[in-house]
Amino acid sequence: MITQRIDTPSRTIPNRGTSMALPQPNRDGSRVIEDEQPDLMDLMILVQRCATESERFYRGQPHDTRFSYELFRRALVERDELAWEQLYLHYSGLVEGWIRRSGAFVSSGESSEYFVVGAFTKFWRAISAERFASFPTLASLLQYLQLCSTSVVIDSVRAQSWSEMLPEETITPTHMPHYSPDEEAMSRVDSQEFWSFINTQLHNEIERVVVYYSFILSMTPRAIYAKRSDLFNSVNDVYNVKRNVLGRLSRNQQLRMILAQ
């Protein structure tokens, strides 16, 4: 994992004699230094301890998870923007690794950096201050962050698929011996009636451009933005238009009737 190293001036630890408590490893390999209180630490000192303990973890050494957990708490419960920024810096390398290992990543047509932003955004929106208590350990938080990382890649690939436009219930069992669902979907959309109807449901030229470039020319949102940057402020705008169109069409009853014929 890529961690953020922050250099701070060294300090001398007062001599407490034999009463000074040494860190003792727990059964799970973690360690707790009893006189350190993460919730009272300055943010940058806390971040430094997160980096140190993460490094100890990857070396297989006893480590203390309280510091990273406190960083998550400040970011998600207190909605501390500086804590969130440091959390992003500390874990973005780990998240990028999860994304690159996703089976859907290669076919997504997007960069891993794009999905890192999406994963953290989804994570932020999903875990409110009230819901944070449902994640009592650092491991549970990281597992959910990993789930968000994988799902944003899958969601992106699905958004490029015809299956988002075609409700599953329109794929009748009678067709299954001859076609896979994807092949059946393509056979149904290869008709003038289908495209004429789709055109009537698009609200403006921007939506028509996104649909044409996505489903006729098979271009990714990033490629669409590169070609038609005059219509969009960012690649996210292309994604949003495409998502809105697909969502609207997937709920359209008349389209369901056309596909059921």
pLDDT tens profile 96-145: 999 998 878 887 778 888 899 999 999 999 999 999 999 999 999 999 99
The residue with tokens 């201050």 is 129
Q: What does the buried/exposed string (b/e) look like for 106-142 if buried means 16 or more CB atoms within 10 Å of the residue's CB?
A: eebbbebebbbebbbebbbeebeeeebeebeebeebb
Of 117, 10, 139, whose CA–CA distance to 68 is shortest?
139
Sign of CA dihedral 69, 74, 78, 80: negative
* Tokens (6 digits) for 227: 């070609």
Alpha-carbon gap, residue 165 to 197, rounded angstroms: 13
If pLDDT is split at 50, 70 and 90, which confidence band does 235 have? confident
Label residues 186-208 b or e (16+ Cβ within 10 Å = b).
Answer: eebeeeeeeeebbeeebeeebbe
Q: Give the mean pLDDT of 76-88.
A: 96
What is the predicted pLDDT for the residue at 34?
Answer: 55
* 93, pLDDT greater than 70: yes
What pLDDT, on a 0 to 100 scale, did the predictor assign at position 183?
Answer: 40
In this prediction, residue 192 carries a pLDDT of 61
When mean pLDDT is compared across 140-144, 202-206, 245-249, the lowest value belongs to 245-249
Percentage with pLDDT > 70 across the chain: 69
In DSSP terms, which residues pair with 24 in a beta bridge? 32
Q: 97 or 170, which is more confident?
A: 97
Q: Is the pLDDT of residue 160 over 70?
A: no
Instruction: Give the pLDDT band (50/70/90) at residue 5.
Output: very low
pLDDT-derived band at 174, boundaries 50, 70, 90: very low
Q: Is the pLDDT of residue 242 over 90?
A: no
- State the pLDDT at residue 184: 43
- Residue 257 and residue 205: Cα distance in Å, rounded? 26
Give the C-alpha separation, 88 to 156, whole Å.
Answer: 21
Whether 181 has a pLDDT exceeding 50, the answer reads: no
User: What is the arithmetic mean of pLDDT over 183-205?
Assistant: 66
- Kindly write down the DSSP assignment for every residue of 185-227, as one continuous string: HHHHHSSHHHHHHHHHH--SHHHHHHHIIIIIS---HHHHHHH
Rounded to whole angstroms, the Cα distance separating 181 from 16 reads 71
In the numeric block, which tokens belong to residue 6? 């922050």
What pLDDT does 236 receive? 87
pLDDT of 92 above 80: yes
Q: How many helices (H) and strands (E) does the chain have?
A: 11, 2
Q: pLDDT tens digits, residue range 9-66?
A: 333 333 333 333 334 444 444 555 556 799 999 999 999 999 999 999 888 899 999 9
Least confident of 12-26, 67-81, 228-242: 12-26
